[in-house]
Amino acid sequence: MTQTSESVTWLTQEAYDQLKAELEYLSGPARALIIAKIEEARQEGDLKENAGYHAAREDQGKQELRVRQLTQLLERAKVGEAPADTGVVAPGMVVTIAFDGDPDDTMTFLVGSREYVSDTLETYSPQSPLGKGVSGKKAGEDAVYELPNGKKSSVKILSVKPHRG
């Protein structure tokens, strides 16, 4: 199967390791815990009216969905170095923008996979409206993107630098 650049998810080694560890936990210890919860709830009797059983089964479904998502993501992931400091907005770059050119109304975010979770940095997919709008731009340039209501919004790119984890 040939992968298009749209189906490939680029991850840093750190992000890949983080997601792999989550998958291993969910596939092993977490799976065993949820099975034990289901079995314990089964012992309580009538399954039709057993809220604990139904809640545990729902948790199991959510957990198995996450396992499938992570498996698919990691199968198509490409691990690479942080991007070069070209000053151009692309996946792996941290971008600071000013809304409508207002230097007091700014936001800094990472352009990358939504699977990359950071406590300090919001992540926007390159396929998101904002991600598409700023991609290929450099600091000092203006970008336009479409809001959910169909209107257009403009931002000014203040800075672009590689994400270092």
pLDDT digits (tens, 9 = 90+) for 30-78: 999 999 999 988 888 777 788 888 899 999 999 999 999 999 888 888 7
Mean pLDDT computed over 7-25: 81
> For 82, phi and psi rounded to 5 degrees?
-60, 145
Percent of the chain residues topping a pLDDT of 70: 86
For residue 73, what is the enclosing H or E element? Answer: helix 51-76
Mean pLDDT computed over 142-148: 91
What is the pTM (predicted TM-score) of this model? 0.59
Give Cα 79 distance to the centre of its chain.
15
**Domains of the chain, start order:** 9-79 (1.10.287.180), 93-162 (3.10.50.30)
